[in-house]
Every structure is written in structure tokens, then in C-alpha cells.
């Protein structure tokens, strides 16, 4: 059975010691899904706001990228990382779902899954924020890690 890496032998919170780890190329991909009510979807993607939808999507992308830069401020045990790449992609799925994927990568001693998760989450929250005037029935259905890779240098 695995142990919690963020707890010491006295079960107190700690930052994971990565001093002995080797530097490697690390990539993580996280996803959030936003479900828009039919009326919101119709307004944004087919109705009077169809032109503005790109501003909603663009703002969510920028918010997600900026959020991952602030990750060290909101997640107290994360290592402060300067990512080498962060990309957010937002696609329409099914009738009224936006699939938000955040890919983060770095060459370092520790992974970037938290940065990818934060980027996807904040992008989803930004979509909610920008669309909530039309309805409060927007649902952020799930946020999850899709992939985590490490390649030795």
C-alpha cells in the first residue's frame, strides 16, 4: 500500500523532498468538462452571442494559463515551478459540453499534474463566470488528470 507523500512520520504536512530525484521531461494533461444548459448553449453557440463566444473561450484560456502561474500561492505544498509550456484547448463535445484540456510541461525533478489540474479548473470556472448571467444551472461536471508522463533526459 502506498503512503501519503505529503505527510511526515508524525503525520504532519510536508513538502515532498525531490532533492534526490533526477531531472526529467515531465508532461501532464488535465481535463474539466463544463455542461451548459440548453438555453445558454443556444445563446452562445447559435444565438445573439455567437460572436462573443470566442471572447468567452479566449478569456477562459488566458485565465487557465495565468492560474497555473499562481498555483504555488493556492496549493501550499506544491513546488514552485516555472513551466516551459502550458496550453489550454477548449472543444465542443456532444450537444452542450465544453471539454477543457490543459497541458503543462517542464524539465524538472517533480511533476506538473497540479499545474495542469489548476489550469483546467480555472478555465472551467471562467466559463461559468462569464456565462452565469444567462443561467446559474451551468455544471462543471468533472476535473481529472488524463495523462502524466516522465521521460529521462
Task: Give residue-wise pLDDT tens across range 41-54.
Answer: 877 766 565 556 67
pTM for this prediction = 0.88
- Candidate list 17, 82, 129, 137, residue with the active-site label: 129
Question: Is residue 69 included in any domain, yes or no?
Answer: yes
> Could you give the CA distance from residue 53 to residue 31 in angstroms, rounded to a whole number?
20
- Which tens digits make up the pLDDT trace of 127-140? 999 889 889 999 99
Q: Are strands 85-93 and 97-108 parallel, antiparallel or unpaired?
A: antiparallel
The CATH number given to whatever domain includes residue 57 is 3.30.70.640
129 assigned to active site: yes
**Could you list the residue range(s) of the whole structural domain that residue 140 is in?**
34-152
Q: Please give the torsion angle defined by the CA atoms of residues 81, 29, 64 and 92, in that order, rounded to the nearest 10 degrees.
A: 170
In a domain, 1, yes or no: no
Q: Does 119 fall in a domain?
A: yes
Amino acid at each position: 500500500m502506498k503512503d501519503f507523500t505529503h505527510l511526515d512520520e508524525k503525520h504532519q504536512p510536508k513538502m515532498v523532498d525531490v532533492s534526490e530525484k533526477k531531472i526529467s521531461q515531465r508532461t501532464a494533461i488535465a481535463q474539466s468538462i463544463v455542461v451548459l444548459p440548453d438555453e445558454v448553449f443556444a445563446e452562445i453557440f447559435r444565438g445573439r452571442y455567437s460572436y462573443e463566444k470566442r471572447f468567452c473561450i479566449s478569456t477562459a484560456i488566458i485565465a487557465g494559463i495565468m492560474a497555473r502561474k499562481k498555483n504555488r500561492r493556492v496549493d501550499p505544498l506544491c513546488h514552485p515551478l516555472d513551466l516551459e509550456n502550458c496550453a489550454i484547448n477548449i472543444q465542443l463535445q456532444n450537444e452542450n459540453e465544453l471539454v477543457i484540456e490543459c497541458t503543462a510541461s517542464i524539465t524538472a525533478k517533480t511533476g506538473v499534474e497540479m499545474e495542469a489540474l489548476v489550469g483546467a479548473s480555472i478555465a472551467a470556472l471562467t466559463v461559468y463566470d462569464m456565462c452565469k448571467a444567462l443561467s446559474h444551472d451551468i455544471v462543471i461536471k468533472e476535473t481529472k488528470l488524463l495523462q502524466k508522463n516522465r521521460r529521462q533526459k
